[in-house]
Amino acid sequence: MTSSYPQVHENDASVLPPQRREASHAARRHGQGVSVEFQAISHAFAQGDRIAAVLDDVSLHIAASEFVSVVGPSGCGKTTLLSMACGLTKPKVGRVMVDGRPLDGRTLTEAAYMLARDALLPWRNACENVEFGLEVRGVPAKVRRTIALDWLERVGLGNYAGARVGQLSQGMRQRVAIARTLALTPRLLLMDEPFAALDAQTRVLIQEEFLRLWESTRSTVIFITHDLVEAIKLSDRVVLLGGSPTRITSDLRVELPRPRSADVEHDDPKFADYYNGLWAALREDVNRATTKR
């Protein structure tokens, strides 16, 4: 971590220059996440001349500022569920409530998406990429530049504001993507296998950085991953999807204290219990899915 003021931004914004201070306060304001409730969701897609059921009676209540990971076999409907949380996909049956109000066709502007591919714009430098979402929202140039520089500092890229995307490593690019996402001060963060494309070591570092940043912001997170270790390490809850059509097969509360240490996976004996329990449940489903073909 090379940020020049990592210890300052959370507790003492008063030592920052006024513009940075404003950005720091703005960053902290997204403290309140939204609650999200999937109510008896069933969904199907037309695939050629048949209708394929994807989700079957999925009900899930996610509290405000909760971090929930969703794990399940490929094709089980994780991305579909995620896109329902912000209104991009409308469930065929059931409904999605956000902060107790039905989405009913509206898209949720307080939500931000993060994907495995960083999806940065190669013709923009790092800072301009972080600014992009703010620009779309009509944030004035000076303000968005200040916010973007602040977030680049937070992800340890304060010295790379002017760097082209092509000059950045995969890990750095994903850090820029994190900065771009968090700069929007989302109340709901929808993350679809966001670290899946990273090599194992970079992935661990970025998980830790992301966790530290999230712990200072507390937006609600729905985090899709195939990696059980990642799911347990980051989340308050891990939800397993499985079966055909897909249902919730397990919903585990992760009671590891926060802030979590980088070594929580080795330090806390509960970690192995969580892992073994989830793997036993997941294994059956993966087995069934891979022997079906």
Ligand X SMILES: Nc1ncnc2c1ncn2[C@@H]1O[C@H](COP(=O)(O)OP(=O)(O)O)[C@@H](O)[C@H]1O
Which positions touch ligand X (CB under 6 A)?
45, 47, 54, 72, 74-80
- In angstroms, give the least distance from the CB of 167 to Mg ion: 30
- In angstroms, give the least distance from the CB of 47 to ligand X: 5
235 binds, among ligand X, Mg ion, none (CB under 5 to 8 A by kind): none
Which one, 8 or 197, has the nearer CB to Mg ion?
A: 197
- In angstroms, give the least distance from the CB of 78 to Mg ion: 5
User: What is the distance between the alpha carbons of residues 91 and 55, in angstroms, rounded to a whole number?
Assistant: 9
190 binds, among Mg ion, ligand X, none (CB under 5 to 8 A by kind): none
- In angstroms, give the least distance from the CB of 80 to Mg ion: 8
Burial (Cβ within 10 Å: 0-12, 13-18, ≥19) of residue 266: exposed
Q: Is 238 helix (H, G, I), strand (E, B) or coil?
A: strand
- In angstroms, give the least distance from the CB of 49 to ligand X: 13
Which one, 33 or 77, has the nearer CB to ligand X?
A: 77
Cα distances from 285 to residues 62, 78, 225, 289, 291, in angstroms, run: 24, 15, 16, 6, 10
76 binds, among ligand X, Mg ion, none (CB under 5 to 8 A by kind): ligand X
Residues 6+ apart with CB under 8 A from 44: 51, 52, 53, 54, 92, 245
Run of H or E including 59: strand 50-62
Write each residue from 34 to 73 as x if it is in contact with Mg ion (CB under 5 A), else as -, in one continuous string.
Answer: ----------------------------------------
* Tokens read off for 96: 């999605």
Which H, E and C letters describe 179-229, residue by residue?
HHHHCCCCCEEEEECCCCCCCHHHHHHHHHHHHHHHHHHCCEEEEECCCHH
Among 79, 244, 249, 250, binds Mg ion (CB under 5 A): 79
How many residues touch Mg ion (CB under 5 A)? 1
- In angstroms, give the least distance from the CB of 95 to ligand X: 18
Residue 83 touching Mg ion (CB under 5 A):
no
User: What is the distance between the alpha carbons of residues 194 and 178, in angstroms, rounded to a whole number?
Assistant: 9
Which one, 55 or 155, has the nearer CB to ligand X?
A: 55
Q: Residue numbers of the site for Mg ion (CB under 5 A)?
A: 79
